[in-house]
Structure 1
Amino acid sequence: MTALSVLGLLPPGGAVTGGRILFDGQDLAAASAAALQEVRGNTVGMVFQDPLTSLNPTMTIGAQVAEPLLLHREGIGRKEAWARAEEMLRLVGMPQPSERMKAYPHQLSGGMRQRVAIAMALVCEPKLLIADEPTTALDVTTQHQILELIDNLRETLGMALILVTHDLGVIANRVDRVAVMYAGKVAEQSDVRALFARPRHRYTEALFAALPERAAERGTELHTIPGLPPSLTVRPTGCRFAPRCLFATAECEEREPELSPDREPELSPDRVPELSPDRVPELSPDPEPQPEAGGSQLLGAEHRFACFHPVPYGDAPQEQVVTPPPATATEPGEVLLELDALVKEFPLTGGPFARRRGTVSAVGGVSLAVRKGETFGLVGESGCGKTTLVRIVAGLEEPTAGTVRFDGRDLAGLSRAERRAHRRRIQLMFQDSTAAMDPRMRVGEILREPLVIQGLGTRADQERLTASLLDAVGLPRGAVHRYPHEFSGGQRQRLGLARALTLSPDLVVADEPVSALDVSVQAQILNLMRELQRDRGLTYLFISHDLAVIRHLADTVGVMYLGKLVETGPAEQVYAHPLHPYTRGLLDTVNVPDPAVAAAGQREPLHGETPSAAKPPSGCRFRTRCPLAQDVCATTEPPVSTPSGAGHQVACHFPLAVPRLASTV
């Protein structure tokens, strides 16, 4: 809402009712509609979270990038605007920009659409760019490319940037100053290094504690913030975080703390709180605050926070909740799901008669085994075949070749009736919980639907089971009377998990279930999934772009690249000693929530574009981006080997032999 207010793009019913928005000496809050029209896309550009919904599906890419020039630049013709649009696409790293100019948004990948959105926002060379979650749901390499692009363009064009994100790793690595917001208020703002080294507000402290990277060890419960954010339909009294803060007193409930400068003395080097076992950032003193235009110092460099009981300096972190001891892990049992040389190819058609012009190799001979009671984490860039693979497992796609065995039975040999009954044992948890639920149905109907389809129990039995499922996922039983849109994102994901558990499955396939959630809600969902796994003996096939989440949750990790499984093994071994160059590149590309890691500059992120699955490279498919590639990589597909033993497998001619330091991810 803050970002949308700058451009006057608040939804119907929303309005700026107080304060000012000073941009280059002009108060945008009091500006007329015509004045704002001159600012939007001209001196202030904006990149929205979902480029597919912010791009016009009926217009070509070239027409959309050229449109701001035609609106805001007098005297520029269509030919010149088209040429400058193509130049901007080239500047944002769009491959084959002249061809992409004629394409439509649906013909581009997610990363390419985001590049188009950035090109549109920058084509008029604005003074300020607002990027609202520009990398949410993108894989780590595409995220790295987009953020690098924004950084480079910011320096080249000399523009300011407001980056809105819930990814603390992005904050630690990409910004200079941070404002932490809670319930419509700035809770704390500071230089990024000072904030991560010495958070002062209890909400900031709790956010950091909820990070998977901060867990005591893999598999332990993550720190969570109790309760829910307040409803803002009625203006809260006192500190807005007080109902969820274990340090709150009567004073916190009676009056609201002001955003005040940090008056504590500067930290000496021996009192700087640790961020990681072997890295401590060097903190420079906060510079004197400089008055902003109009006298405001809200966004000055000074460390400011609004808390009556701030985190004290030099003390051990005081967590918002007490972490329970780790539960005794159950040893994985027999193989539940086994894939053997699984292949899936899609026909590539074109022309007026939709003639077949080739095939797309989505999955190219994948073999893996998932044991009962374990969590198998599947990682890789977008387009590597993860979702296609799980759709085959769930029975939504038929394999081109290979076998899928579940609990010892080949699924290809099942009759239609047997397939229907079998689907009860494998359930899906989707990335977008909103799109996965019928908005016209109440929650009770949504949860009962699988039982009705399978003909299980009477209505009374179904309602009792629905109530127990809501109890299990931590939602009130009264939720059965509400619609999906009446819930928050985290609550809808709990509903998605409840629906997946309705038929008491053996395997839950979770496709990016926490990618769009903030860190505190993410911790709640991950804790819930692990608790239900212990209580119900569930097996998870968990897909995620977030490597920190996979490391925390998964027992076994599989790394996919362009339809191939290039490395598998126990999670700790894969992260501490990756054998495949692609795995190491993924780990080095991750934005670690520690500014000192970025400052160290010892990481080697992945570069280059993933080849087309319609024309995968010969031999090793990763060779076109691999720093170790040799002639044999182009002619021979690498065999699967176990150079380090203990079930750690890699498909590489030249696996990494030198152990690396334990990953910070």
Structure 2
Amino acid sequence: MTASTTVARTGSPIVEITSLSAGYLTGGTVVTAVHDFSLAVRPGEIVALVGESGSGKSTTAHALIGLLSDNARITGGSIRVGGVEIVGAREKTVRSLRGSTVGLIPQDPMVGLNPTQQIGTQVAEAVRLRGIRGPAVHAEVLEVLRTAGLDAADQHVHRYPHELSGGQRQRVLIAIALAGRPELIIADEPTSALDVTVQARILDHLESLVRESGIALLIITHDLAVAADRADRVIVMRQGRIVESGAPAEILVAPADPYTRRLIAAAPALANGGVLEPRFRETGNDRSDHAAILEIDAVTKEFRGRKGRAVVALNDVSVCVPAGRTHAVVGESGSGKSTLLRIAMGLETPTAGAVRFDGIEMSGLSWRRQRPLRRRFQLVHQNPYAALDPRFTVRESLIEPLVSFRIGSRAERHARAGELLDAVALPRTALDRLPDELSGGQRQRVAIARALSLRPDLVLLDEPVSALDVSVQEQILDLLLDLQQRFGLAYLFVSHDLAVVAKIAHTVSVLDSGTVVESGAIADVFGNPQDSRTERLIAAIPGRRARSGREPSNLERESR
């Protein structure tokens, strides 16, 4: 640590929260979400706020930037931003602090981005707030997009959010936050949708801003490995209260609270010190008697880009999912994972190659002939906001597939809805809630429950646990394994989190730029990778720096 950084961290806090209490108005009563919370963040400091879904992390962050929902109430305490008290302040005063003093990287890119505007226009709006005008705006837009890790930024500026992958959209949000050059950046789950190499590059950049320029960073995350790797100070929250606070090494080595110990034990990357420990030890030499439920055979997919140019999303890709087994697909954002899922679901037609479900060729089948098959495979989306109808209660969302396929009586459907909530560790009181009354993690669990309602043979999972805190993530993974064992389910599991993949998958394919670069048993691919791109993904897994306290290797630096 340099002397200048040390001095910076002892300066006046950019943000100072004192005895904050806040909650949400429900039925005429304020239900407290944050209790007597105090925090000071100084220039040049990285603070991580860690806790499970519903612990009060996001409520604290939104109170800090004046973006609480209409039914939220601050019932006590003080929040000073840049020396200005914002509790009770006029909206004009709070607005003047956003962007220039405090920038926010929101959790969900589909909510944070305007679907009707090109991304270049949205980033330019933040750039102009700094007084930049003319041709310099475009140059600055490209610069911040590149800084946020968006490759080929000049090709993306004219695209709309729906034309980008989930990871690319998240990087646009990061660029918008950086564009205002704030004194403090609040990063609310900033890398939950990113693959490990891009995640490392983004966090490296945010960390370098802190170390070199004195900008402060407040990371809101359920990923204890990310927090421990990056933060100077980790604050653990539970049910709106601080249960533990300290340096990452202290908390990881000797956590004082049982709750913190449970979080560490549930985090795959931390539990093994960043080393991948596959659950299934079989290798390519082991025999498998499982017939294929899904075969993607030599599939190529081309899209027509601007000016009629062909864009190859997948190139001669073959993937096989055996019945009752889990095959994982991993790769960086934009590698073709989501396109592969859409082709497997029959939502896209391959340019070349074949897709077979239980031996039946899917291409060319009419809707009437496909419908009986569609009951047998279901999709869990990456984004629970997009997966759930905001007008439907949880109960209505869960029984909708049953109604569509005319399964069960009304009473049986309602009973099934309750069973599904039990399975994904949600209380039955959630049945009559709307999606916007649930946390992000709770919404994702409802989406998983909905996919299981028809008891399918195959479930396609698109980053299904990326929005969940580690303890609930562990519950969901254990649930998926249990269901697989009991009912013979097969999973096509797409994820950027290799530690999660190691816990659930039997086999894996590594995608890069639309091509399979390595495929095989988990124990073979993760234990002895043959391709440098696989090595790069493994080297970027968070949790290693926190445990070892060492500098990253050259390979780790290259991956970032």
TM over 0.5: yes
Query: Which residue in 2 is equivalent to 1:382?
Result: 333
SS state at 1:368 partner: strand
Whether 1:39 aligns to 2:39 is no
Check whether the contact 1:337–1:406 (CA below 8 A) recurs between aligned residues: yes
1:110 Cα deviation after fit: 4.9
Structure 2: which amino acid aligns with 1:514?
V
1:379 Cα deviation after fit: 0.8
1:28 Cα deviation after fit: 3.9
1:548 Cα deviation after fit: 0.6
Whether 1:348 aligns to 2:404 is no
Check whether the contact 1:43–1:128 (CA below 8 A) recurs between aligned residues: yes
Query: Which residue in 1 is equivalent to 2:108?
Result: 50
Query: Which residue in 1 is equivalent to 2:260?
Result: 204
1:167 to 223, 227, 230: 223
2:451 to 494, 497, 500: 500
Query: Which residue in 2 is equivalent to 1:128?
Result: 184
Whether 1:20 aligns to 2:78 is yes
Report which structure shows greater RCO (CA 8 Å, sep ≥6): 2
Structure 1: state its 5+ residue gaps: 217-274, 278-324, 352-356, 610-665
SS state at 1:334 partner: coil
Please give the residue correspondences for 1:182-193 in structure 2 after superposition, counting only pairs within 5 Å.
Answer: 182-193=238-249
Structure 2: state its 5+ residue gaps: 1-58, 281-285
1:538 to 483, 489, 502: 489
Change (3 A) 1:482 1:51: closer
Which of structures 1 and 2 has the bigger CA Rg?
1
Query: Which residue in 2 is equivalent to 1:548?
Result: 499
Structure 2: which amino acid aligns with 1:178?
V
Q: Distance in 1 between matches of 2:162 and 2:363?
A: 33
Check whether the contact 1:43–1:127 (CA below 8 A) recurs between aligned residues: yes
Please give the residue correspondences for 1:213-228 in structure 2 after superposition, counting only pairs within 5 Å.
Answer: 213=269
Q: Distance in 2 between matches of 1:489 and 1:118?
A: 19
Aligned residues: 494
Q: Distance in 1 between matches of 2:411 and 2:221?
A: 44
Query: Which residue in 2 is equivalent to 1:640?
Result: none
Q: Distance in 1 between matches of 2:264 and 2:162?
A: 37
SS state at 1:545 partner: coil
Change (3 A) 1:349 1:396: same
Structure 2: which amino acid aligns with 1:590?
I
Check whether the contact 1:121–1:129 (CA below 8 A) recurs between aligned residues: yes
SS state at 1:20 partner: strand
Query: Which residue in 1 is equivalent to 2:290?
Result: 334
Change (3 A) 1:21 1:527: same
Check whether the contact 2:444–2:467 (CA below 8 A) recurs between aligned residues: no
Check whether the contact 2:270–2:543 (CA below 8 A) recurs between aligned residues: no
Structure 2: which amino acid aligns with 1:525?
I
CA offsets 1:591-648 (integer angstroms, 9 cap, x no match)? 1265134624236148589xxxxxxxxxxxxxxxxxxxxxxxxxxxxxxxxxxxxxxx
Q: Distance in 1 between matches of 2:288 and 2:417?
A: 29
Q: Distance in 2 between matches of 1:105 and 1:563?
A: 20
Please give the residue correspondences for 1:210-609 in structure 2 after superposition, counting only pairs within 5 Å.
Answer: 210-213=266-269, 333-339=289-295, 341-350=297-306, 357-412=308-363, 416-459=367-410, 462-463=413-414, 465-466=416-417, 468-470=419-421, 472-473=423-424, 481-592=432-543, 595-597=546-548, 599-602=550-553, 604-605=555-556
CA offsets 1:269-312 (integer angstroms, 9 cap, x no match)? xxxxxx689xxxxxxxxxxxxxxxxxxxxxxxxxxxxxxxxxxx
CA offsets 1:364-409 (integer angstroms, 9 cap, x no match)? 1122322222111111112222222222222222222222233333
Q: Distance in 2 between matches of 1:434 and 1:65?
A: 23
Q: Which moved more, 1:48-57 or 1:422-431?
A: 48-57
1:510 Cα deviation after fit: 1.3
Check whether the contact 1:344–1:362 (CA below 8 A) recurs between aligned residues: yes
Query: Which residue in 2 is equivalent to 1:616?
Result: none
Q: Distance in 1 between matches of 2:504 and 2:104?
A: 35
SS state at 1:345 partner: strand
Q: Distance in 1 between matches of 2:232 and 2:252?
A: 12
Query: Which residue in 2 is equivalent to 1:4?
Result: 62
Q: Distance in 2 between matches of 1:81 and 1:447?
A: 47
Structure 1: which amino acid aligns with 2:204?
E
1:573 Cα deviation after fit: 2.0
1:521 Cα deviation after fit: 1.2
1:484 Cα deviation after fit: 4.2
Q: Distance in 1 between matches of 2:76 and 2:497?
A: 39
Structure 2: which amino acid aligns with 1:171?
A
Q: Which moved more, 1:377-386 or 1:457-466?
A: 457-466
Q: Distance in 2 between matches of 1:197 and 1:71?
A: 44
SS state at 2:525 partner: helix
Q: Distance in 1 between matches of 2:268 and 2:435?
A: 28
Check whether the contact 1:331–1:373 (CA below 8 A) recurs between aligned residues: no
Q: Distance in 1 between matches of 2:541 and 2:80?
A: 35
Check whether the contact 1:332–1:373 (CA below 8 A) recurs between aligned residues: no
Same amino acid, percent of matched pairs = 44
SS state at 2:217 partner: strand
Change (3 A) 1:56 1:401: closer
Change (3 A) 1:91 1:415: closer
Query: Which residue in 2 is equivalent to 1:292?
Result: none
Query: Which residue in 2 is equivalent to 1:658?
Result: none
Structure 1: which amino acid aligns with 2:183?
K
Structure 2: which amino acid aligns with 1:378?
V
Q: TM-score, normalising length from structure 1? A: 0.66
Q: TM-score, normalising length from structure 2? A: 0.77
Check whether the contact 1:337–1:407 (CA below 8 A) recurs between aligned residues: yes
Query: Which residue in 1 is equivalent to 2:211?
Result: 155
SS state at 2:256 partner: coil
1:176 to 212, 232, 254: 232
Query: Which residue in 2 is equivalent to 1:144?
Result: 200
1:586 Cα deviation after fit: 0.5
Change (3 A) 1:606 1:585: farther
Structure 1: which amino acid aligns with 2:198?
T
SS state at 1:138 partner: coil
Q: Distance in 1 between matches of 2:556 and 2:233?
A: 24
Query: Which residue in 2 is equivalent to 1:229?
Result: none
Q: Which moved more, 1:392-401 or 1:178-187?
A: 392-401
Q: Distance in 1 between matches of 2:178 and 2:416?
A: 53
Structure 2: which amino acid aligns with 1:9?
L
Q: Which moved more, 1:404-413 or 1:375-384?
A: 404-413
1:342 Cα deviation after fit: 3.0
SS state at 2:99 partner: coil
More strand by share: 2
Q: Distance in 2 between matches of 1:85 and 1:437?
A: 33
More helix by share: 2
Q: Distance in 2 between matches of 1:112 and 1:495?
A: 25
Q: Distance in 2 between matches of 1:393 and 1:99?
A: 28
Q: Distance in 1 between matches of 2:261 and 2:362?
A: 49
Q: Distance in 2 between matches of 1:475 and 1:91?
A: 39
Check whether the contact 2:225–2:270 (CA below 8 A) recurs between aligned residues: no
Q: Distance in 1 between matches of 2:227 and 2:257?
A: 17
Query: Which residue in 2 is equivalent to 1:29?
Result: 87
Q: Distance in 1 between matches of 2:248 and 2:370?
A: 54
Q: Distance in 2 between matches of 1:481 and 1:140?
A: 37
CA offsets 1:73-128 (integer angstroms, 9 cap, x no match)? 5xx75566666556555655665667766665556555555454444434453322
Check whether the contact 1:341–1:401 (CA below 8 A) recurs between aligned residues: no
Change (3 A) 1:455 1:31: closer
Structure 1: which amino acid aligns with 2:66?
G
Change (3 A) 1:35 1:108: same
